[in-house]
Amino acid sequence: MGRFPGATLRGGFGHALKKTACAAEQQSCDKCMLQSRCVYSRIFNTPVPEDSNMMKKYPYAPHPFILHPPHASTEVAKDADFGFGITLFGSAAENWPYVIFAFRQLGRFGLGPKRVKFKICEVRQIFNTSDENRTLLRGTDEVENEPRPESVAVAPGSDTDRSSSITVHLHTPLRLKYDGKIVGKAELQFHKLLPALLRRLSALLFFHCGQELELDYASLVEWAEKDVEKKEDKTRWCELNRFSGRQKRRIKGGGLVGQVKFCGKVDRYVPFLKAGTHTAVGKWTAFGLGQYEVIM
């Protein structure tokens, strides 16, 4: 599936979902009268309302999903099994049948430039907060179980003077911007990671869950700069490029993978970091980037 399977999968998913859900069959969603009701628009082009008090300068809200693609350069033999996943946030989870149907259609259309066809044999829900998993459906369209939503608490942790450490294991490339510049290994600090994480959690809650995260963002970031330092950095840069169908050109990307250890008064930030393990953080999260694990 190449070096960037997330881009291949996301592009195909978007195309198949539009084919599945678009009743107007228009090239652009911007002026479509069905935009506010359309499943494709809700998932792929969530418009920021004109009267919104968040992200006023942006045309679209963050996508309410992240993909869990196969590992880069995965070679799949003919008739062999392979797997991928998707996490849906907030109201997008209500549209799970459209999502599964779209991936089935993608299997019929074919994936990537070679149009490799596949068939979905089983769909399972894997729970993040327990070891439980359940089969939703198998080879037929008959649903065995409805998915069950999971909730994740997003609130500051205990405000103590206790000093401790936390390790963030970046499983897929973390692509961060801080002050308009891409954050590399040398620039990676906790107070540069935290704003991106808080913005993402806030936006997903606001646009897709109908909740507002009321925090003193400036103080949290200021305290993080003073109270938390990078102790050990075992990250490396992983270069990735993708072709943008919308812009009709290749876009250079990439990010940091590996482990980074932070020390200091980290307790108040742990709930945010744990919530971010479900949502990912940084740029290109819909493609599968920015996924990490927290090691206490």
Each residue's pLDDT tens digit, 207-251: 999 999 989 999 999 999 999 999 999 999 998 877 666 667 777
Instruction: Identify the band that residue 6 occupies on the pLDDT scale cut at 50, 70 and 90.
Output: confident
- Using CA atoms, how far apart are residues 110 and 12, in angstroms rounded to an integer? 8
| Residue 237 phi, psi (nearest 5) | -85, 135
Q: What does the pLDDT read at residue 2?
A: 59
Least confident of 137-141, 158-162, 193-197: 158-162
State both tokens at 270. Answer: 């742990």
Q: What does the pLDDT read at residue 97?
A: 93
Instruction: Identify the band that residue 113 occupies on the pLDDT scale cut at 50, 70 and 90.
Output: confident
| Residue 189 phi, psi (nearest 5) | -135, 160
Would the pLDDT of 76 be above 70? Answer: no
Residue whose token pair is 């980290």: 266
**Domains in the chain, please, with CATH?**
5-120 (no CATH), 164-295 (3.30.70.1900)
**Count of residues making up the chain:** 296
What stretch of H or E contains 223?
helix 217-227
Q: What does the pLDDT read at residue 179?
A: 93
End-to-end CA gap in the chain: 34
| Residue 233 phi, psi (nearest 5) | -130, 110
- Using CA atoms, how far apart are residues 125 and 147, in angstroms rounded to an integer? 7
Q: What does the pLDDT read at residue 296?
A: 86
Q: Kindly report the average pLDDT of the chain as a whole number.
A: 88
Predicted TM-score of the model (pTM): 0.90
Would the pLDDT of 174 be above 70? Answer: yes
Q: What does the pLDDT read at residue 23?
A: 81
Kind of pairing between the strands at 85-88 and 181-182: unpaired
Q: What is the mean pLDDT of residues 66-92?
A: 83
